[in-house]
A and B are shown apart, each in its own frame.
Chain A
Amino acid sequence: MTIDGYCTLGVDREYDLTETSLLNAMDRARVERAVVVPPDRFLAVYNQDGNENMQRAVRAHPDRFISTCSVNPWYGKASIEEFRRAVLEGARMLVLHPFVQGFSANDELVFEVLEAAAEERVPVYVHTGPPGNSTPWQIVDLAERYPELDLIMGHCGATDFWNDVPDATAAAPNIYLESSLARPFHFARYMEVLGKGRGILGSWAPLNDLSFEWEQMRTFIPPDVFSEICGTNLARLLAKRGAT
């Protein structure tokens, strides 16, 4: 099973990934399935529109795409309602982007959303990295508070929080590392230190070229590690709620 753990599907500002272009890129890279996420605008404000767009894409290609949803916790109760609605419609991962959505990752603002994700047995992907309101150790705060919740540390804090990644990830068993922006040569090292069960390969197409990222990962990562991070680990998290 090969799954690309993070692709932004849509056309907006620097994003230009259509369903067709994503499918073509997946075919070129021998990727069976891709987790699809709405562009930033839909993470920040138009949550329901973005979530519905992903659901439509998954209905059109149920064997290729895996739906996510995002809610901005500033919307309070409405964000919880939208999250539960999206999950009922098929979303299998919650995406939070504290930089774009305007909160600190470990702010109590997000707690109710995470509680709902834990209840729904849906993993939570959190973008991490500069400017500093979503860092590896903030993810540890969340992981300790919600030990039953699987948290995916998007981009491994790249670039400037890379120093924190090994210790922070080792501090909580429910943290997984997603590779996009972390670069294959660094990600290979993380897997060496933390074990191959903690890695999830994501390209973050179209900011990165999907085929190129997969090709580079196949070059840099030892085959026995690659076979786990290229989809097996993520599939295990997604399966907690049932078949995707």
Chain B
Amino acid sequence: MIVDCHTHWGMVWEERYQGNPVEWLSILDRHQIQKAVFMGHGNLTRPDLCETENDNLVRMARQFPERLIPVGSCWPQQGKKGVAEARRLIETLRIKGLKFHPWLQGFTVADPFLGQMCGLAGEAEIPVFFHDGTPCYSLSEQIAGLARRFPSTRFVLAHAGLLWNWRSALLAARLPNVWVCLCGPHMRAIELLCRYADPDRILWGSDFGFGLSDQIEYRLNLFRRARISNPLRDQILKTNPLHLWAQ
């Protein structure tokens, strides 16, 4: 069992396959990935597409409930309307998590409506995924600030700080409600994150799906070739993702 904790239903996939993830899943099959955290693309770039995309993600996940874990998004800039969409995701669509990309979506983590959304996620006990590692809206330490404000909400640094901010991700991961997803850092950073972060709160992801190309092979082999003990590698690929939703 491998769980990929960072994938997207990219706009190119939607254009080509209109809500049918069979071909998309075949790429996962190629790498023996059984389950994926299934995030959108249109809902992170186009507020007008957000609700439709959320519905689409949930519909596809219902077709493949053993394989796809749907994670939706909403827009803090829409104010009460955005918060209502967060409620709809949680209460009506039974979404498994929220995803925010402050850089693409263009908001600051200080936005009060984002705070309301994070509070709702905490009440519903679903994790909140954040793009991280990118100035000036998506730094790991900014997400850590949210984690301090909302200690009952679990936050996932979806890129573990990427290539240049991984030390900040490591510091953020000291907070008990912050998880890191190894999706973006170079091999040495992956090794150091695995050495020093809480082993129970580390995930792995490929970021597959934004485009049509298969980048899973590179990302998975990078993780496999890193100097990490086999038990920890298995824990990250198999056990930890399931615990993220079991708490």
A binding-site residues for B, Cβ under 8 Å: 14, 99, 129-132, 155, 158-160, 181, 183-185, 204, 206-209, 212, 216, 219-220
Q: Which of B7-15, B64-72, B116-124, B185-193 lines the interface with chain A?
A: B185-193
Given known pairs A160-B134, A212-B221, the reply for A131 and B187 (CB within 8 Å) is no
B240 interfacial contact with A, CB 8 Å: no
B169 interfacial contact with A, CB 8 Å: no
Q: How far is the CA of A160 from the CA of B164 in the complex (A)?
A: 10
CB of A185 within 8 A of CB of B213, answer yes
Tell me the nearest residue of chain A to B184, going by C-beta.
A159
**Chain A positions within 8 Å of B186 at CB level:** 181, 204, 207-208
Q: How distant is A215 from chain B, measured CB to nearest CB, in Å?
A: 9
**Chain A positions within 8 Å of B165 at CB level:** 130
Q: How far is the CA of A220 from the CA of B192 in the complex (A)?
A: 27
**Chain A positions within 8 Å of B103 at CB level:** 160
**Is chain A's binding surface mostly helix, strand, loop or mixed?**
loop
CB of B163 within 8 A of CB of A185, answer no
B50 interfacial contact with A, CB 8 Å: no
CB of A208 within 8 A of CB of B164, answer no
CB of B162 within 8 A of CB of A212, answer no
CB of B192 within 8 A of CB of A209, answer no
**Chain B positions within 8 Å of A209 at CB level:** 187, 225-226
CB of B189 within 8 A of CB of A207, answer yes
Q: How distant is B210 from chain A, measured CB to nearest CB, in Å?
A: 11
| Contact of A216 (CB < 8 Å), options: B133, B184, B218 | B218
Q: How distant is B18 from chain A, measured CB to nearest CB, in Å?
A: 25
Q: How distant is B157 from chain A, measured CB to nearest CB, in Å?
A: 14
| Contact of B133 (CB < 8 Å), options: A99, A130, A206, A219 | A130
Q: How distant is B91 from chain A, measured CB to nearest CB, in Å?
A: 35
**Chain A positions within 8 Å of B133 at CB level:** 130, 159-160
Q: How distant is B17 from chain A, measured CB to nearest CB, in Å?
A: 20
Q: How far is the CA of A185 from the CA of B188 in the complex (A)?
A: 20
**Chain B positions within 8 Å of A204 at CB level:** 186
Q: How far is the CA of A39 from the CA of B196 in the complex (A)?
A: 22
Identify which of B133, B162, B186, B217 gathers the most chain A CB atoms within 10 Å of its CB.
Answer: B186
Q: How far is the CA of A165 from the CA of B232 in the complex (A)?
A: 37
Q: How far is the CA of A208 from the CA of B184 in the complex (A)?
A: 12
**Chain A positions within 8 Å of B135 at CB level:** 130-132, 160
**Chain B positions within 8 Å of A158 at CB level:** 163
Given known pairs A130-B135, A183-B215, A212-B225, the reply for A207 and B162 (CB within 8 Å) is no
B84 interfacial contact with A, CB 8 Å: no
Q: How distant is B182 from chain A, measured CB to nearest CB, in Å?
A: 14
B222 interfacial contact with A, CB 8 Å: yes
| Contact of B192 (CB < 8 Å), options: A14, A155, A160, A185 | A14
CB of A129 within 8 A of CB of B164, answer yes
Identify which of B188, B214, B225 gathers the most chain A CB atoms within 10 Å of its CB.
Answer: B188
CB of B162 within 8 A of CB of A208, answer no
**Chain A positions within 8 Å of B188 at CB level:** 14, 206-208
CB of B187 within 8 A of CB of A185, answer no
Tell me the nearest residue of chain A to B222, going by C-beta.
A212
B129-145 CB mask vs A (1 if < 8 Å, else 0) is 00001110000000000
CB of A212 within 8 A of CB of B134, answer no
Q: How far is the CA of A216 from the CA of B133 in the complex (A)?
A: 24
